[in-house]
Chains A and B, each alone.
Chain A
Amino acid sequence: MIAGMVVRSLDRGAIAFLATLAAIGILVPVLNLLVPATSPFHLSSYFVALFGKYLCFALLALSIDLIWGYCGILSLGHGAFFALGGYAMGMYLMRQIGTRGVYAHPVLPDFMVFLNWPELPVYWYGFQHFAYAAFMVLFVPGLLAFVFGWFAFRSRVTGVYLSIITQALTFALMLGFFRNNFGFGGNNGLTDFKDILGFNVQAPGTRAALFMISAFALMLGFVICRVIVSSKFGKVLVAIRDAEARTRFLGYRVEAYKLFVFTLSACMAGVAGALYVPQVGIINPSEFSPGNSIEAVIWVAVGGRGTLTGAVLGAVLVNYGKTYFTSGFLAPYWLFVLGGLFIAVTLLLPRGVVGTIHHWWGQWRERQAGAARVPDASPRPAE
């Protein structure tokens, strides 16, 4: 049944997209590991790490697109779920350091020794096991999203109000994680990782494997989103986006729909964060900053919300642009570009890149088909 749902949910575009992702997921590690460094086809480890990072961002963008593009929930705090997933993974990686830390303490991470903590706090228990950490990667963001969403959706906090309190949420978490006595390394966060599942995080093989896993996670996330939005459930989500009150009066439990999709989206963001941390080698409280979350929203807007593929494309494009700008003499102008992007996309390209292409394609098909009217594939902006 599930297989049937998956197959039905994938149209031609989606299959092409998945195939591209799979090709990237296999080709990039191969070109990095098996092709000799002298060959023009060789990809550097830097490139692998960089694009691995982009894939994680793409998964985050996908999770935002699911709730914003299809359900009209604009979360300005999704970076919080991403960072929480990252912290859960970071805690596992910290425990793997063992006696190789600066203070060589068998149990306590370096920063705890430095801060004179007598023993491991209770909430760090179990993180030496990968399975537990992996569970927490899903559970912690999911739980927070569930509790927060339960409160927020039940009392019908919508639109900009919701956006602002999600922003306050991530801001509050940032302030908290900056504190040393929270037990997450304070200002410096968690870093100096050594091993993941016994493999050296720095080794090219591990990096390539992480890249493949990220590509796979992105594909999986895409399929999940695709299944949801093409099902009947997804139609209700779109109805909520376009006319919430009307959907409620038709008898749908709007809160329940929103809560489910919000929680799922938070779990996806958590996974993205967990894959991000071993690839960049650090997680610190600045990941919670409201600016990061808003930036993730703009990736989706650039690619085109309500398209899924657009979110992925937008995340990669904007982040590539960021890397390109901030690494050269253009660095001081990056914020002008980013700010301009926010304005240009909302004013000139409200459908985003992919959405606009869809729109043109639809119009072209319509003209070809003459009288037969093809429904507009791209969703209109929420609200």
Chain B
Amino acid sequence: MRVFGDRFIALVLVLGVLAAVITPARAGPYEDALAHFTADSFDQTIDGINAVAASGNALAAPVIRALQEGRLFFSADGKRVFIREQGDRLIDAATGQPVASDPPDLAPVRLNNRLRRIVEAALGSLTLMAPDPGKRLEAAQAVLKSKDPNALPALDQAIAKESDARVKQALTEARAAVVLYSDNASDDEKLDAIALIRQRGDQDALALLGGLPASASPAVKKAAADAIASVQNSLALWTAVQNAWYGLSLGSVLLLAAIGLAITFGVMGVINMAHGEMVMLGAYTTFVVQEVIRARNPALFDYSLAIAIPLAFLVAGFVGILIERGIIRFLYGRPLETLLATWGLSLIIQQAVRTAFGPTNKDVGNPSWMSGSFDLGHITITYNRLWIIVFTLLIFVGLLGLLRFTRFGLEMRAVTQNRAMAASMGIRTSRIDALTFGLGSGIAGLAGVALSQIDNVSPNLGQGYIIDSFMVVVFGGVGNLWGTLVGAFTLGIANKFLEPYAGAVLGKIAILVLIILFIQKRPRGLFALKGRAVEA
């Protein structure tokens, strides 16, 4: 064993010595290129820059950047080049290793204006070929903005080598921008470039086409004008699509908040001012679930919403049934007083939550599958909004199914249409009332889970939605879920289309005024109940 140990140490030593001997001998094009910097002559330095840039070594970019910033030093005796890092640390440009002590004849590699331009071009082309695709994309976009004609050769080189489709696209567009603004490109080349930029079709493209130099030929100018018109058209279309998307998103939130209200109002004629607080309870349930998960088992965090959804439904639904049994059933037939009592209740619930959890916003996290976004054409779609729309539609469909296909739904519809008749047929209307109220509140709780993902979770969460959800119900009409659906999406989309013209607040005011006017025409909403139920 002992013998083996000695031999092992000896082997390591020998290998170490060999490595030390071999490393300097392994000089490649990069190390040769570095030697140019030690000559202290501008011409040599130019050769050095070009050779380093062409070497493809990982250290090439740091070396040239150091040169640009005056942090590149050389030692003529040792024929070595160093980079001065932050904190005065000196590293060997050849190996990237820190140097123990400064060599005595350390001198900076000098630059003049001619060299500076070469350095810039070299740096641009180096980042265009950086190993990280993100860096390459950034560099391509920088060229697109700068339209620097010197970058053309580097661009061509980079396009030829590029393997990532997205980066390649960006590079091609950058090249088109450079060609469009270069003085020595032919008209044909420029027309091709315009076609390329036109395909890009965003604000940058518009800026590129609009800023064409006056020296451009008429054919190019005309092509550019055409391209601008087409880009503007497509941009207007995309803005409309974007607004529609935002509107759908807002509409789904409104629908989520209003749908429970529509049920209780439609079936029982009860205005529940504490509805917003049920939403808030759902959001706080999500918060508590996440807190418990964070403390006990962080690995489950991605499932926190899946756990919170049934819990929020149960918590809010249970509170709803308590409210119905405790307060509302004594007030049937007195809707105005129900309104006041439930308002009082909302104050109490808010204050209770404030006392229990504090008045500040609570941090409810997005699970990984709900964060982030993706691009669809020229609009960005965030996953949380997308999931909320899906979630809302699921709830809506589920609720329709519940009303249509279950015994509870049948009884609920019977009570809505004719309470007295339903009671005579043996339906326990008071039980249906309690369950309906519980269902409406439970759905509000579900809304709270969703809203916790996009809004601040605070005791005032519900109040922000209550008036909007009333507007949806009033607009859509009572006693019809489709009315609520149409109402919510109409209001959401109308709001988002008004916003660019009127601003967020004025848009909202305009919507309120429009609803007040709309009520004149159809006092009972878009989808009004007809027949005897109206006067009930």
Instruction: Quote the shortest CB–CB distance from A161 to chain B (angstroms).
Output: 6
Q: Tell yes or no: A339 within 8 A of B by CB.
A: yes
Other-chain residue from B331, B355, B508, B524 in contact with A347 (beta carbon distance below 8 A): B331
Mask, B304-329, CB within 8 Å of A = 1, is 00000000000000000000000100
Q: A165-B474, A165-B515, A383-B336 are contacts. A338–B523 as well, Cβ < 8 Å?
A: no
The interface residues of chain A lying within 8 Å CB-to-CB of B337 are 346, 350, 381
Q: B343 — which chain A residues lie within 8 A by C-beta?
A: 294, 342
Q: List 25 A-B contacts (CB under 8 A).
A: A148-B516, A157-B519, A157-B520, A157-B523, A160-B335, A164-B474, A165-B474, A168-B470, A168-B512, A176-B509, A245-B535, A290-B467, A335-B348, A336-B347, A338-B344, A339-B344, A342-B341, A342-B345, A343-B341, A343-B345, A346-B337, A346-B338, A346-B340, A347-B327, A350-B337
A22 at the interface (CB under 8 A from B): no
B11 within 8 A of A: no
Question: Which of A76, A301, A335 lies in contact with B350, CB distance below 8 A?
Answer: A335
Q: Digit string of A258-279 for contact with B (CB within 8 Å is 1, else 0)?
A: 0000000000000000000000
A342 partner residues in chain B, CB cutoff 8 A: 340-341, 343-345, 347
CB nearest neighbor in A for B338: A346
Name the B residues within 8 Å of A171 (CB-CB).
467, 512
Contact of B330 among A157, A163, A347, A383 (CB under 8 A): A347
Number of B residues with CB within 8 Å of any CB on chain A: 43
Kindly identify, within residues 482 to 521 of chain B, every residue whose CB is under 8 Å from any CB belonging to chain A. Answer: 505-506, 508-509, 512-513, 515-517, 519-521
Does residue B346 face the partner (Cβ distance < 8 Å to A)? yes
Q: Mark A129-158, 1 if CB is under 8 A from B, else 0.
A: 000000000000000000010011011110
* A156–B519 CA distance with the chains assembled, in angstroms: 10
Is the CB–CB distance between B523 and A156 below 8 Å?
A: yes
Taken residue by residue from 323 to 361, chain A's Cβ proximity to chain B (1 for < 8 Å, 0 otherwise) reads as 000000000110110111111011100100000000000
B252 CB to nearest chain A CB (Å): 21
B431 at the binding interface (Cβ < 8 Å): no
Q: How far is the CA of A345 from the CA of B352 in the complex (A)?
A: 20
Q: Is A6 an interface residue (CB 8 A)?
A: no
Residues of B within 8 A of A294 (CB): 340, 343
Please, which residues of chain A bring their CB within 8 A of the CB of B352? 336
Question: A interface vs B, CB < 8 Å?
Answer: 74, 76, 148, 151-152, 154-157, 159-161, 163-165, 167-169, 171-172, 175-176, 178-179, 245, 290, 294, 297-298, 301, 332-333, 335-336, 338-343, 345-347, 350, 381-383
Task: Report the bound CA distance from A57 to B271 in whole Å.
Answer: 26
Interface centre among A154, A157, A164, A382 (most CB of B within 10 A): A164
Residues in B neighbouring A332, C-beta threshold 8 A: 351, 354-355
Interface pairs A-B: 5 shortest CB-CB? A342-B344, A339-B347, A339-B348, A335-B351, A172-B512
Chain B positions 454 through 470: 1 when the CB is less than 8 Å from some CB of chain A, otherwise 0: 00000000000001001
What's the least CB distance linking B128 to chain A, in Å?
47
Cβ of B62 to closest chain A Cβ, rounded Å: 50
- With contacts A168-B512, A171-B467 known, is A159 near B335, CB below 8 A? yes
Residues of A with C-beta under 8 A to B516: 148, 151-152, 165, 168-169
**In the complex, what distance in Å separates the CA atom of A381 from the CA atom of B332?**
13
